[in-house]
């Protein structure tokens, strides 16, 4: 049960590593193409802006290895910005994303009076049964901090939804590639369940 966390300078590696260790996972940090490609499962964290995230992945020559890793069928999990980087593009910038799940990200519309960014605790409601969301209780709540919402081209990629003025995809999954918009490492036992499920895939 080994999880490799991608270190490209924009992730909350300490908190993510600590939660994974609490659920009994062996944790590695990887920042080279070889490190990614030799992994059993990869977690792509992220805090910040879309273009900066992609720039840093390119600077470390990690873009093609992440695509190759995903093509191998091994589990790849993006959280927060990491989930948005899985897609093709974002309204936040001009860079091309990893392109592992077709779609893009759009900014929340604050004209209806909602506050942007979406910050705080919200539910995430699974759209189907899946090993990544198994065992979540009815009162599940997760911690969000984001201004952009993911819009997959294919609704079948949506694994869970959250309502914040509009219903949006708070989790996605397409094959072995999956993402969560919230911060599992800040979401107490609910996030721990998600992390344990991922580590056991």
Distance of alpha carbon 141 from alpha carbon 61, whole angstroms: 36
Helix (H) or strand (E) holding 66: helix 63-71
Token pair belonging to 136: 């979540």
CB-CB contact of 10 with 45 (8 Å): yes
Token pair belonging to 84: 């948005």
User: Would you name the residues annotated as active-site residues?
Assistant: 80, 183, 185
Distance of alpha carbon 14 from alpha carbon 198, whole angstroms: 18
Collapse the DSSP code of 91 into the 3-class scheme (helix H, G, I; strand E, B; otherwise coil) and give the result: coil
């Amino acid at each position: 049960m080994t999880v490799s966390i991608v270190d490209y300078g924009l992730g909350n590696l300490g908190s993510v590593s600590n939660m994974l260790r609490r659920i009994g996972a062996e944790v590695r940090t990887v920042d080279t193409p070889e490190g990614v490609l030799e992994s059993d499962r990869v977690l792509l964290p992220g805090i910040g802006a879309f273009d900066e995230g992609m720039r840093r992945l390119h600077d470390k020559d990690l873009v093609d290895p992440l695509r190759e890793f995903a093509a191998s069928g091994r589990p790849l999990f993006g959280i927060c910005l990491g989930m948005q980087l899985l897609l093709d593009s974002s309204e936040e910038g001009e860079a091309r994303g990893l392109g592992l799940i077709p779609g893009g990200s759009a900014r929340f519309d604050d004209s209806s009076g909602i506050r942007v960014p979406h910050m705080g605790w919200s539910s995430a409601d699974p759209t189907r049964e899946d090993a990544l969301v198994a065992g979540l209780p009815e009162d599940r709540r997760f911690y969000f901090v984001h201004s952009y919402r993911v819009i997959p081209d294919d609704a079948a990629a949506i694994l869970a939804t959250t309502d914040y003025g509009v219903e949006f995809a708070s989790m996605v999954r397409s094959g072995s590639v999956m993402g969560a918009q919230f911060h599992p490492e800040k979401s107490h036992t609910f996030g721990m369940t998600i992390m344990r499920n991922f580590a056991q895939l």
